[in-house]
Amino acid sequence: MTHAASLPPGLHQWVTRHVPGMDTATVTDASWPRGDSRVWRVCADLGEIFVKLYPSTEKYEREVLGCEHATQALAPDEAPHLLASDPDRSAVVLSALPGRVVRGLPLERTEEQHVHRLAGNLLRRWHDAPELISDLELQRIMASVNMQADEAAMILERIGDQLSPAEQDLVRDAACGLPHLAQSLPLAYRHGDYSPRNWLWDAAPGHHSLIDFEESAPGVAIEDLVWLCGAAWPTRPDLRDAFLAGYGRLLSSSEQRALVLLTARLGVSYLNTGLTKADTVLIDRGRTVLEHMVRAPR
């Protein structure tokens, strides 16, 4: 949801140096309710742009590098263009793209399948665009997977009595199996938040595009499918089929196993946080993910 807003004075002055017509521009707050970054939609002389302010240098740098990756991986109209950036204030100016956020759109079944097929194709090109992964980055990637495995083990010890025997086995499998499994999985430059809230769909020309690169970084490629695996595919296997058709290949047995275990780790994390905070939404989400992952082939 957006509403009338104004840019902070210092940020406004900086944007004015890069965007003509800011004195008469219309500004609306376009931030996600649960997001850490601030986002403003600005309608100025040259059209619509977005201004984004990040809570950390890391997220700012990831957005900038993600925009650079997009220029080599995607068509010019499939991702925002970086119009200006300022590392001192962790802010960027981005071009706007046509279309509406896919999340929540009332799409017909065949149209939704088509969007997911295009999303799979876009992600394949995003993953296939080469990026050098240094030894330091490789260590960080493996450390991240190990942390997820350790988290699964910790949560199993803490709330194991809240899980069914099958769910306990699944979470234990994630804790024990992920570190070794990750060593054989394909690596790529991940988007990091590949879900319909970051897809845009322009129905008239049938155009799909991608936004929000602040979580992008080198990593295990299959991690970009975790949200879809946990939230969309269990009840809509047709969307899984459409997405993988667009991606251009089926998952290997190792990738399928890793995807289920990574998604189970996310689900049990939801459940643990929900129980800790008495948040019924997170509790239900966690239980639903675990229920589906128990039945998924691995």
> Domain boundaries in the chain?
3-96, 101-295
Q: What is the pLDDT of residue 184?
A: 95
**pLDDT at site 1:** 42
The CA distance from 83 to 38, in Å, is 17
SS3 175: helix
pLDDT value of position 23: 87
The single residue listed with the structure tokens 């509790």 is 283
Q: What would the pLDDT profile of 135-149 be if each residue is shown by its tens digit?
A: 999 999 999 999 999
Q: Using pLDDT thresholds of 50, 70 and 90, give the confidence band for residue 4.
A: low
Check if 3-96 and 101-295 are the same fold: no
Q: Which CATH architecture has domain 101-295?
A: Alpha-Beta Complex (3.90)
- Please report the beta strands in the chain, taking only residues with DSSP state E, as ranges in sequence order: 3-4, 26-29, 38-44, 47-53, 82-86, 91-95, 100-101, 187-190, 199-202, 207-210, 217-220
Pairing of strands 217-220, 199-202: unpaired
AA identity, residue 172: R
CA distance 94 to 96: 6
The model carries a pTM of 0.94
Q: What is the pLDDT of residue 233?
A: 96
pLDDT score, position 92: 98
Nearest to 59 by CA among 80, 38, 29, 81: 38
Tokens of 22: 């800011």
Cβ 199 vs Cβ 100: under 8 Å: no
Decide: 111 and 241 in contact? Cβ < 8 Å: no
The whole-angstrom separation of Cα 176 and Cα 253 is: 17
Across the beta sheet with 100-101, the strand order is: 100-101, 199-202, 207-210
- Cβ atoms of residues 37 and 55 within 8 Å: yes
Predicted pLDDT of residue 46: 78
Averaged confidence pLDDT in the chain: 96
In 51-164, alpha helices (H): 57-73, 109-128, 135-159
100-153: pLDDT as tens digits: 999 999 999 999 999 999 999 999 999 999 999 999 999 999 999 999 999 999
Sign of CA dihedral 39, 280, 291, 166: positive
Fold of 3-96: Phosphorylase Kinase; domain 1 (3.30.200)
Structure tokens at 291: 């229920």
Bridge pairing between strands 47-53 and 82-86: unpaired
Residue listed under structure tokens 């990040």: 54
